[in-house]
Amino acid sequence: MPFTKGYIPWNKGISHTLQVREKISRSKKVLPTPWMVNRSISEEVRLNMSIGQKKRFENKENHPRWKGGISKNVHSTKEPRYKEWRSKVFERDNWKCKMLNSKCVGGIQAHHILPWRDFIEERYIINNGITLCQFHHPRKRIDEKMLIPTFRKLVEAI
């Protein structure tokens, strides 16, 4: 039950017996399992393991999280070309969501109609952008693909 002002919990003032407290204490203590016994590693071995890991992942491609050079920073809002593209899209759309209806909520966002990742040459073309509110901005790639024709019509109508 969430906290409610004035609510008194059922167990307020009740204390556990000594027997119960010992039982709780025993349950919280971690007993060593057979593989944990004599598991201490010397500093030399630790150092060698560390060096081995560093050598193993010296080449980026060997690292388990390597995804083939995909950048995490898809489009930086600090990049001048992106800033210019974004502001021109907003100005063209009069700083309003193009899907304007009663459900529009949240701030506006410049959305790439043809995905940034797939259409490199179309990234900074003004007609590849549309102003959307947070509610209408597609969150899934499948929705993005379905909405491309709709967004194209809205941009052409301007």
How many structural domains comprise the chain? Answer: 1
Per-residue HEC secondary structure of the chain comes to CCCCCCCCCCCCCCCCCHHHHHHHHHHHCCCCCCCCCCCCCCHHHHHHHHHHHHHHCCCHHHCCCCCCCCCCCCCCCCCHHHHHHHHHHHHHCCCCCCCCCCCCCCCEEEEECCCCCCCHHHCCCHHHEEEEECCCCCCCHHHHHHHHHHHHHHHHCC
List the domain range (segments joined by +) for residue 115.
Answer: 80-156
Average pLDDT of the chain is 80
In a domain, 70, yes or no: no
pLDDT on residue 33 = 65
The percentage of residues in the chain with a pLDDT greater than 90, rounded to a whole number, is 13
In a domain, 103, yes or no: yes
In a domain, 146, yes or no: yes
Residue-wise pLDDT for 72-104, tens only, equals 555 677 788 888 999 999 999 989 888 877 778
In a domain, 127, yes or no: yes
Q: Compute the average pLDDT of residues 120-126.
A: 88
| Residue 150 pLDDT grade (very low, low, confident, very high; cuts 50, 70, 90) | confident
pLDDT on residue 91 = 93
pLDDT on residue 27 = 81
In a domain, 13, yes or no: no
